[in-house]
Amino acid sequence: MNFAFWRTLAVTTVTDPASAARQIMAMEFPREVLWLALALAVVLNTTIQAAINVVFPPVDGMLPGVGTGLGAYAAIVGGGLILTIISLHRVGRWMGGQGTFNEVMALMVWMQFLRVVVQAASFVLLLTVPILSALLALAAALLGLYIFLHFIDQAHRLGSIWRAAGVLIVSVFAIAFVLFVLLSLAGAPITGSAAYV
């Protein structure tokens, strides 16, 4: 699998995401390879974010490009991706889907690599033509949702984009609930609670 193969797969992901999803699942990547790919995607994402922070330092001083800020950023990106994979797999199966954990993980990791490419392109445009960077971000968000729904549909053999949307919506609520519980256990303040103290 050379660069030309991955470039073609990326184009297919945009033009025919259902077909791209089937191709990715047919590769049957071992779990160990998927975890390594996930880690690499997170590292690449964090590296680009570091470059952005160096050129455009955040106003609040967070994520300055080095140090604990980027470590926290990588943890959030990686943890969020893992939580999303688990949620999509569990919720999809609960709603009648047939996707395996490896299949869902392979598709989500591939989407993360595409996100890295878009992030890098946005950074270049931010340095040259900022308005195009904003337009690219908007287009990528809309197209990403379209691809995301097709990937969920193909992973769980749902046969309907609307059922895939249902899986996504329930997964979002499931993730929100898990984060709420974790923050509560960690002792983080819950919005609105201060007024009653």
Question: Domain spans of the chain?
Answer: 3-196
User: Residue 65's pLDDT is what?
Assistant: 43
Query: pLDDT by residue (tens digit) across 8-32?
Result: 999 999 999 999 999 999 999 999 9
CA 45 to chain centroid = 11
Which residue, among 28, 30, 12, 31, has the nearest Cα to 20 in the 3D structure? Answer: 12
pTM: 0.86
The stretches in the chain having pLDDT less than 50 are 61-68, 191-197
